[in-house]
Amino acid sequence: MTDFKQKFIDFALQCNVLRFGHFKTKAGRPSPYFFNAGLFNDGRSLQQLGQFYAQAILTSEIRPDALFGPAYKGIPLVSTVAIALTEAGYNYPFSFNRKEIKDHGEGGNIIGAPLAGRILIVDDVISAGLSVGESVTMIHAAGAAPCGIMVALDRMEKGENEHSTLQEIRNKYGIPVISLITLDDIVAYLHTQQDLTRHIPAIEAYRTHYGAKISDTSSQ
């Protein structure tokens, strides 16, 4: 495991964003671990999160013209990532959507910079890929082109078939998906932490049942 991945997992555990126990995912699956990016909920943790995202984006092969954050969790994410990228010397315009179309004032459902050029979608964790489809539709409707998706965690779970959800997104939309960490990284991390190894059997059983048989990860 790279130092970058280990630092991010340490960070997620310190913020109680990554937890182990008994949970139910958005897809209704009983899960032995849970990742809730909404708990990066103070200024310092949000700032650090943006820096992790920015580092991953800058070391990837994705070269966007602008950033887009799908409502709701994508809104603070895309904001802090834009700031972190600016601090690194890259000033990107960014925008996000509102759930309801506004019929007064500036109108529409996009807030921020106009969607133009190559757009990188910034999100937390993709479960069923529904928000991705909505984002891609909005970007295309504006005459722009999605060039990639950046997420914190690839759960490496199967979607509608034996492929992982992220691989299905790659196949369907023809755009790369990069993640800060994957479930493989979490398991590798657990093997290095004596007080956490007890969670490995439950996660391995979960992967046997719900894990993608075909997964093409592009994490940093």
Q: Which residues are known catalytic residues?
A: 102, 104
Distance between CA atoms of 111 and 143, rounded to whole angstroms? 16
Considering only CA atoms, which of 59, 115, 75 is closest in space to residue 92? Answer: 115
**Integer Cα distance of 94 and 23 in angstroms:** 34
* Residue for token pair 């603070």: 76
Listing DSSP states for the chain in one string gives --HHHHHHHHHHHHTT-EEEEEEE-TTS-EEEEEE-GGG--SHHHHHHHHHHHHHHHHHSS---SEEEE-TTTHHHHHHHHHHHHHHTT----EEEEEEEEE-STT-EEEEES---SEEEEE-SB-SSSHHHHHHHHHHHHTT-EEEEEEEEEE--BB-SSSBBHHHHHHHHH---EEEEEEHHHHHHHHTT-TTTGGGHHHHHHHHHHHB-SB------
Closest to 92 in 3D by CA, of 58, 135, 134: 58
